[in-house]
Amino acid sequence: MGPVAAAIILVTALITSFISGIFGMAGGVIFMGVLATLVPVPMAMMIHGSIQMFSNSYRAFLWRRHIKWTIFRRYAIGSVAAVALLFALSWRPDKQMIYLMLGLVTLLVWLPKRVADLDIQKRFQAEGAGFVVQALNTVAGVAGPLLDQFFVRTDLTRHEIVATKAVTQVLAHFVKIIFWSVPVLMASGVEALPPAWLILLAAPLTMLGTTLGGKVLDRLSDVNFKRGMKYLVTAVGIVMFMKAAGWL
């Protein structure tokens, strides 16, 4: 990995952690798109998973008193089922498919309530979220907009949404790292893994971005938080579709 690519990754980690610190999503989609442009898909997935897992861990720590642990435990049940299925299928998409899936994921923020009345607090929906979000996050790299669909209609506060989503994403990214690193290790060994120094340098940057984003989150109303999140994710999705079509 060259110094220019490493510098871009580190700056992007800071900016996207700031965005995610505010909205609890969108930053991951942007970060995945940048990584897929710079490095091969397996490397992108491992770098993204490592940095996002740390970023979400720190975000969950900051807002730990707001985490709804009952929701997380139910989510984890569905996640385990998804992991078993993914390892059985062993399908891994190429770069263009990654961009396409990232774009499609962002469209979910416009899903009408009458089409799918999702609410992670309802019976069996946390388990369902764990299954579909874990599956998509593992193969596409990001599933924040899909996960958001299970939270946007709840009566949770913006802090509870960000905190609970963060702890579920720690699990999701950990699984993603394992899924993409196992075949790389078997084929090429440890030397094919992302450089440890990159992850170590990115860690404090994500902490800084998350902390600054949290200050902005405190100033937002719940209404503006949900509205701003929708339009931001849509703009990111348009860029991902353009990348998938080869227009960028």
Encode pLDDT of 42-92 as tens digits.
Answer: 999 999 999 889 888 988 998 899 999 999 999 999 999 999 999 888 888
DSSP secondary structure string, 32-50?
A: HHHHHHHS-HHHHHHHHHH
pTM to 2 decimals? 0.87
Residue 109's pLDDT band, with cuts at 50, 70 and 90, is: confident
Confirm if 36 and 47 have CB atoms less than 8 A apart.
no
Can you tell me the distance from the alpha carbon of 29 to that of 244, in angstroms, rounded to the nearest whole number? 14
Token pair of 171 as six digits: 């699990």
What's the mean pLDDT when you consider all of the chain? 88
